A and B are shown apart, each in its own frame.
Chain A
Amino acid sequence: MAKVVIKDSPYNLKKAKILDVKTLTEKEKLFKLVFEDKTWLDFEPGQFIMVSLMGIGEIPVSICSSPLNRHYFEICVRAVGKVTNSLHKLKAGDIIGVRGPYGNGFPIKSLEGHDLLIIAGGLGIAPLRSLILYSIDNRRDFGEIHILFGCKTPGELLFEDEIEEWSKRLDIHFACTVDRADPDWKGNVGLITSLIPGVDIDPLRTYAAVVGPPVMYKFVIKELLAKGLPVDQILLSFERHMKCGMGKCGRCQIQNLYCCKDGPVFTFKEIMDMAEAL
C-alpha cells in the first residue's frame, strides 16, 4: 500500500482561530472565528460549515453572522453531543478545523424586492440571524420585514441584546413569545404558531423563512397556508446529521434530495409531497 497526501482532497480542513466566545444561555455559546490564513469565508445566509475538533469529531453547523462581514464569521452552538460539549470548553485563541461552506442558502435574489416573514424557533434563530443581518445591511432591497421568534422559556432566549435592538427598529416588525413564562417575563406567552395569525402581511408579496425544531414545521406551515402564502414562497431549512456535506455519505437524504447539497433550504413546494421530510 502506498500512502499519498492529497492536498485537493474535499475533506481538507482550514484552520480557524477562535477570536471570542460569548455565552448566550446555559446551553448555547457564540463563537467568533477567523481563518488563520486571513482569507474570508464566502457564503450565503443559510449555508453551513463542517466544524472539526481533531480527535473528537466533525459536525455540521450553520453560519449565523452576516455574509457581508469580512472580518470574522460566527457560529452559535448548543451543547448536546460529544463535539459540541468539547467545543464549549474552548477559549479565545484556540484553533479548530473548518471546511465549507456547503449547501444552498436562502435564495437572496428571489427574496429581494419582497416582504420577509422570518419565523425562528429556538436555535433556529442561528441560520436566520444571518439572513436578518443581511437584510438589515441591505434594508432598501427588501419590503416589510417581520420577525417572529419563539422559544421554550425566557432563559433560553438567544441573542437578547440584538433582539432588543431589532424590536426597537422602526423598519422591522418584531414579536417574541415563550412557551412557559417566568415571573419577570412581560411579553407573549404561547407557541410560535399563536403569533402568525396576528401578523399583517400581503401573502402574495411575502416570502416566509422558517427554521426551528422538526416538530415546529408542520404547525407553522399550516398557519402560513391559512394566511394565503403560496407554497413556493415558504422557505424551510432542515436539520440532518450530514457527515460529508457533499452529497455522498447518504446520511441526510430526503427521498431523492440531499439535504446537504440540494438544501438545507427548501421551498415547501419542493418537499410538500415527501414523506420523511418533516
Chain B
Amino acid sequence: MKIEQYKLLEKSLLKDFINSLIPIANVYAPVSKGFNNYVFQNIKSADEVSIKYIPTIIPPKKFFLPKKENILQFFIEDELKVEPVTEYENLIIFGVHTCDIAGIKCLNMVLSDKPKDTAYLIRKKHVTIIGIECNDYCDEYASCSFVGAHMPTTGYDLMFTELSEYFIVHIHSSKGMDIIEKTDIFKDASIAQLEELKILRNNKMKIFNNEIPTERRYLPDLFDRSFNANVWKELEQKCLSCGNCTAVCPTCYCFDIKEEVDLTLKAGERYRVWFSCQLDPFAKVAGGHDFRKERSARQRHRFYRKFRYHIDRYGMVFCTGCGRCSRTCMAKINLKEVLTSLIRESEAKIWRKWL
C-alpha cells in the first residue's frame, strides 16, 4: 500500500464526484428498477445511482461484448465491398463490484488471446472502470470469496472503499489519476486511513468465508473425477434449457454470427450476437447430429467451462461468484448447491488422493 496511490473523499461529496464525471463521458451506474433489480444504465444525475446494490441483472460485459454487435458491413451493388467495423463510445462505468471486475478480466484474457479480437480491444480502451468495494455479502447467492473475487486486486482505474468517515480511493491507472485531478474535492490520505483500510480488509476475511466446502486449488481434481457424477443427471430433470444462466453470466462470451441485408438488397451487416450452450442448436452440425443433446450434458458443459476447461487454457477460474445464474434460474438451480453436492458425491474419491 503506497500512500501516494490513495485519496480521500468525504462521504457527502460522493454525489458531487459522480456529477463531475457526467460532462467527461457517458456515465453508466447501477440504477434501481424495483423488486431488488438493478441495471447499469446511462445516468444524467447522481441522484439516480444506487450505491448499495446487489449484482445487476446483466453484468458490465454488455459494454465490452454487446449483445448484438456489427462486425462487418458489406455492399453488393456492382462490386462486392466488405468493411470490418466496430462501434465504441467513451464511457465511465461507476460502481462496479469486484466480482464484475473479475468477469471483465476473464473476458480480457479470452479476447486478447491470439488471434486478437480487435473490436473488443478498441472498445476496452475507451472504458474507464470505477469500482466500489463490498464490505459485506450482497446476498446469500454470492460465492465471491470461493473464487477469490471479493477483494479488489487489479482490473480497475479507481476503487472506492467505504471507511467510517471517508471513501478511500485507490488510484490504479493514469486514466484514474486524470479523473481525480479534474476535481479538487479529494484530499490526501493519511496513515490513519490506510490503517483503517487494512483493518477493514482483515475483517472482510472473516466476514467473507468460504461459501463452498472445499478450496479453490482442489477444483481441477474435483472436476476431473466428476464427469459422470449423478449431480449432472439430476440437473437433467430440473433444467429448462432457457439459457438465462449464460446470458447473465459475466464470463459467458459464446456467440453466433448472423447477417441481415437491408431493404435495398444492396448493402447489409454481419453481426455477432450472444448465444448459449444451453440452447438446442448450439452443438448441432449440418447432418443434424447434436453433440450435447441432453440438458444434463449442457449444464455440465457450463460448469466445466466455469471451473475446469479454462483453468487449463487461461489459468483462471471463469466463475466470479456473483451469483447471477442462481438468482435468475427459473428452476432454482443453485451454483453453490450444485458444487456442494458435487463435493459430497466425489468426496470419497478425492480424499483418497489427497491423503
A residues contacting B by CB (< 8 A) are 1-13, 15, 52, 54-58, 80-81, 95, 97, 213-215, 239-241, 243-244, 246-251, 253-256, 275-276
Q: Is the CB of B253 within 8 A of A248?
A: yes
- Chain B residues, Cβ within 8 Å of A56: 259
Q: Chain A residue with minimal CB distance to B311? A: A256
- Is the beta-carbon distance between B88 and A1 smaller than 8 angstroms? yes
- What 0/1 readout, one digit per residue, does chain B (79-96) give for beta carbons within 8 Å of chain A? 110111111110000000
Q: Are B259 and A57 in contact (CB under 8 A)?
A: yes
Contact, CB under 8 Å: B76 / A247:
no
Contact between B286 and A241 (Cβ–Cβ < 8 Å)?
Answer: yes
Is the pair B277, A54 in contact by a Cβ cutoff of 8 Å?
A: no
- In the complex, the answer to whether A5 meets B87 with C-beta atoms within 8 Å is no
Q: Judging by beta carbons under 8 Å apart, are B87 and A12 in contact?
A: no
Interface residues of B in 298-315 (CB under 8 A from A): 301, 304-305, 308-309, 312-313
For this complex, 24 residue pairs linking A to B, each with C-beta atoms less than 8 Å apart, are A2-B87, A3-B87, A4-B87, A4-B88, A6-B119, A11-B84, A54-B76, A55-B265, A57-B258, A80-B286, A97-B80, A97-B82, A213-B287, A243-B256, A247-B113, A248-B255, A249-B254, A249-B255, A251-B256, A251-B275, A253-B301, A276-B283, A276-B291, A276-B301
A246 interface neighbour in B115, B254, B301, Cβ under 8 Å? B115
Which residues of A lie under 8 Å from residue B312 when comparing CB positions? 256
Docked complex Cα distance between A8 and B117 (Å): 9
Distance of A81 Cα from B287 Cα, bound (Å): 10
Report how far A81 CA is from B309 CA in the complex, Å: 32
Instruction: List the A side residues contacting B272 at CB < 8 Å.
Output: 243-244, 249
A10 surroundings in chain B (CB, below 8 A)? 115-118
Residues from chain A with a CB closer than 8 A to the CB of B84 are 5-7, 9, 11-12
- Complex Cα distance, B111 from A12, in Å, reads 16
- Establish whether residues B259 and A55, one from each chain, have CB atoms under 8 Å apart when the complex forms: yes
- Docked-complex contact A13 and B82, CB < 8 angstroms: yes
CB of B123, distance to nearest CB on chain A (Å): 10
A21-B282 Cα distance, complex, nearest whole Å: 32
Q: Is the CB of B257 within 8 A of A58?
A: yes
Q: B87, A81: Cβ atoms under 8 Å? A: no
A214 and B287 form a contact (CB under 8 A): yes
User: Which of under 10, 10 to 19, 20 to 34, or 35 or more describes the interface residues of B?
Assistant: 35 or more
Whether B256 contacts A275 by the Cβ 8 Å rule is: no
From B72, B80, B89, B268, A2 is in contact (CB under 8 Å) with B89
**Distance of A12 Cα from B83 Cα, bound (Å):** 7
> Is residue B124 contacting chain A, with contact meaning CB distance below 8 A?
no
B66 to chain A, nearest CB (A): 10
Q: Besides A9-B118, A55-B76, A243-B257, 16 other CB < 8 A contacts?
A: A2-B89, A3-B86, A8-B118, A10-B115, A12-B82, A13-B72, A15-B82, A54-B76, A55-B74, A241-B285, A246-B115, A247-B113, A249-B255, A251-B256, A254-B291, A276-B292
Tell me if B194 counts as interface (CB < 8 A to partner A): no
Residues of A within 8 A of B110 (CB): 248
Question: Cβ of A54: which chain B residues have Cβ within 8 Å of it?
Answer: 74, 76, 80, 82, 259, 268, 270
Q: How far is the CA of A22 from the CA of B272 in the complex (A)?
A: 33
Whether the pair B88, A55 counts as a contact (CB closer than 8 A) is: no
Bound-complex Cα distance A144 to B204 (A): 69
**Closest chain B residue to A8 by CB distance?**
B118
Q: Are B85 and A5 in contact (CB under 8 A)?
A: yes
Q: Decide: A6 near B86, CB < 8 A? Known: A58-B270, A255-B304.
A: yes
Which chain B residue has the least Cβ–Cβ distance from A277?
B291
* Residues of the B chain whose Cβ atoms lie less than 8 Å from the Cβ of A239: 285-287
**Docked pose: A79 CA to B116 CA in angstroms:** 33
Question: 8 Å CB contacts to A: which residues of B242-288?
Answer: 253-259, 261, 265, 268, 270, 272, 275, 277, 282-287
